[in-house]
Structure 1
Amino acid sequence: MTPMTTAERRGYHQICDASGAMMVIACDQRGGMRTLLAAAPEEQAKITNETLGDTKCDITRYLASKAGCVLVDPICAVPGLVDNDILPRDTALLIGIDASGWDTSPQGYRISKMVDGIDARKVRELGATGGKIMVYLRMDTPAANVQNLETLRRSIEDFAAEDLLLVVEFLTYQLEGESKEEYESKIPSLIVEGSRACLELGSKVLKIPYPGTEEACAEVTKIAGDVPWAVLSAGVDHRTFLGQVEAAMKNGASGVIAGRSLWKDCISLDRNATKEKLSTIAVSRLGDIQAIVRRYRGAEGVAA
Structure 2
Amino acid sequence: MNKMTTSERRGYQMICDNTGSMMVVACDQRGGMRTLLASDPAEQAKIGNDVLGLTKYDITSYLASEAGCVLVDPLCAVPGIVDEGVLPRDTALLIGLDASGWKESPEGYRISTLVDGIDARKVRELGATGGKIMVYLRTDTPQANSENIQTLRDVIADFAQEDLFLVVEFLTYKLNDESQEDFEKKIPSLIQEGCKVCIDCGSKVLKIPFPGSEEACRKVTDICGDIPWAVLSAGVDHSTFLGQVDISLRNGASGVIAGRSLWKDCISLDRNVSKEKLSTVAVSRLNDIQKLLLKYSKKAD
TM-score with structure 1 length normalisation?
0.98
Structure 2 residue 181 is matched with structure 1 residue 172: no
Structure 2 residue identity aligned to 1:37: L
Q: For residue 293 of structure 1, report the CA deviation from its aligned partner.
A: 1.3
Which deviations, in whole Å up to 9, do the C-alpha atoms of 1:88-129 show, x marking residues without a partner? 000000000000000000000000010000000000000000
The answer to whether the Cα contact below 8 Å between 2:92 and 2:128 also exists between their aligned partners in 1 is yes
Secondary structure in 1 matching 2:71 = strand
Partner of 1:191: 191
Which deviations, in whole Å up to 9, do the C-alpha atoms of 1:249-288 show, x marking residues without a partner? 0000000000000000000100000000000000000011
Which deviations, in whole Å up to 9, do the C-alpha atoms of 1:185-220 show, x marking residues without a partner? 000000000011001111000000000111111111
Partner of 1:17: 17
Aligned length: 301
Q: For residue 2 of structure 1, report the CA deviation from its aligned partner.
A: 1.4
Change in 2 beyond 3 A, CA 1:298/1:148: closer
Unmatched tracts of structure 2, length 5 or more? none
In the alignment, the residues of structure 2 paired with residue 131 and residue 298 of structure 1 have an alpha-carbon distance, to the nearest angstrom, of 23
In the alignment, the residues of structure 1 paired with residue 298 and residue 62 of structure 2 have an alpha-carbon distance, to the nearest angstrom, of 23
Within 5 Å, which residues of 2 pair with 1:227-242? 227-242=227-242
- Structure 1 stretches of 4+ moved >2 Å: 298-301
Q: For residue 298 of structure 1, report the CA deviation from its aligned partner.
A: 5.7
In the alignment, the residues of structure 1 paired with residue 229 and residue 90 of structure 2 have an alpha-carbon distance, to the nearest angstrom, of 22
Structure 2 residue 102 is matched with structure 1 residue 116: no
The answer to whether the Cα contact below 8 Å between 2:254 and 2:298 also exists between their aligned partners in 1 is no
Partner of 1:88: 88
Partner of 1:245: 245
Secondary structure in 2 matching 1:23 = strand
RMSD between superposed Cα atoms in Å:
0.7
Partner of 1:201: 201
In the alignment, the residues of structure 2 paired with residue 176 and residue 33 of structure 1 have an alpha-carbon distance, to the nearest angstrom, of 25
Within 5 Å, which residues of 2 pair with 1:256-295? 256-295=256-295
The answer to whether the Cα contact below 8 Å between 2:94 and 2:129 also exists between their aligned partners in 1 is yes
Partner of 1:223: 223
Secondary structure in 2 matching 1:24 = strand
In the alignment, the residues of structure 1 paired with residue 294 and residue 195 of structure 2 have an alpha-carbon distance, to the nearest angstrom, of 24
In the alignment, the residues of structure 2 paired with residue 144 and residue 40 of structure 1 have an alpha-carbon distance, to the nearest angstrom, of 33
Secondary structure in 2 matching 1:100 = coil
Secondary structure in 1 matching 2:113 = strand
The answer to whether the Cα contact below 8 Å between 2:192 and 2:219 also exists between their aligned partners in 1 is yes
Secondary structure in 2 matching 1:98 = coil
In the alignment, the residues of structure 1 paired with residue 250 and residue 151 of structure 2 have an alpha-carbon distance, to the nearest angstrom, of 32
In the alignment, the residues of structure 1 paired with residue 174 and residue 210 of structure 2 have an alpha-carbon distance, to the nearest angstrom, of 16
Secondary structure in 2 matching 1:63 = helix
Partner of 1:7: 7
In the alignment, the residues of structure 2 paired with residue 85 and residue 242 of structure 1 have an alpha-carbon distance, to the nearest angstrom, of 31
Partner of 2:148: 148
In the alignment, the residues of structure 1 paired with residue 300 and residue 214 of structure 2 have an alpha-carbon distance, to the nearest angstrom, of 21
What is the aligned-residue identity percentage?
73
Partner of 2:103: 103
Partner of 2:65: 65
In the alignment, the residues of structure 1 paired with residue 208 and residue 181 of structure 2 have an alpha-carbon distance, to the nearest angstrom, of 21
Q: For residue 300 of structure 1, report the CA deviation from its aligned partner.
A: 2.7
TM-score with structure 2 length normalisation?
0.99
Unmatched tracts of structure 1, length 5 or more? none
Structure 2 residue identity aligned to 1:59: I
